[in-house]
Amino acid sequence: MDDITALILDDHHAFRRGFARLDDAKGTEALRAVWEPLATYLEIHAEAEEAILYPHLLKRGDPANAEEETEDAIRDHNKIRDAIVEARRHPVGSDEWWAGVWQARTENSEHLAEEEDEALPDFRKHASMELRADLGARWLRFYGEHPCAMGLRVRDKDPDKYIEENQ
Ligand SMILES: [Fe+2]
Ligand SMILES: [Fe+2]
């Protein structure tokens, strides 16, 4: 059985590798080949966390911190989504495209560190192994149900409203 926090870490490693691969990509087609799947993967990951992880962190995490951890995550996910949208408005390889991609990269790096040092440790400490495994199975199903983000409405969310609806 897979623990949801381990599956999330696997994705985070893949994001870091993806951004590093962009450093080595030469030419528009090579850049597009790395960036497009990476951008979609980032979008699916954030939707999956918002659908599966954070509602449970809100209910089971440390009452003193879970709300703030969730609020930070939704804000960060919004910033990453916005940077991806910005990059997509420009031709791959252009200065404007790089600016959007770099924004996504730096926002994502900051967010991964926060999630790995705050939200995930909180969840590991307070959720049972059984729940972590159940959510791991849900996580895998979510990816199976939304290949290439199909059927997902990728959109920014109001952090306060999200917390209210998922508490
Ligand atoms: Fe994450
Ligand atoms: Fe996240």
Band of residue 56 on the pLDDT scale cut at 50, 70, 90: very high
Quick one: pLDDT at residue 34? 98
8-state DSSP, 80? H
Q: In the numeric block, which tokens belong to residue 151?
A: 């059927």
Residue 40 has pLDDT above 90, yes or no: yes
Residues 34, 49: Cα–Cα separation, whole Å: 23
Report yes or no: 83 and 118 within 8 Å, Cβ to Cβ: no
In whole numbers, what is the pLDDT of the chain averaged over residues? 97
Residues 44, 153: Cα–Cα separation, whole Å: 10
pTM above 0.95, yes or no: yes
| Mean pLDDT for the stretch of residues 60-86 | 97
For residue 38, the CA-to-ligand 1 centroid distance in Å is: 13
Q: 46 Cβ partners below 8 Å, 6+ apart? A: 77, 80, 81, 154
For residue 96, the CA-to-ligand 2 centroid distance in Å is: 25
For residue 27, the CA-to-ligand 1 centroid distance in Å is: 29
Residue 1 has pLDDT above 90, yes or no: no
Model confidence pLDDT, tens digit, residues 96-137: 999 999 999 999 999 999 999 999 999 999 999 999 999 999
For residue 50, the CA-to-ligand 2 centroid distance in Å is: 8
Ligand nearest to the CA of 73: 2
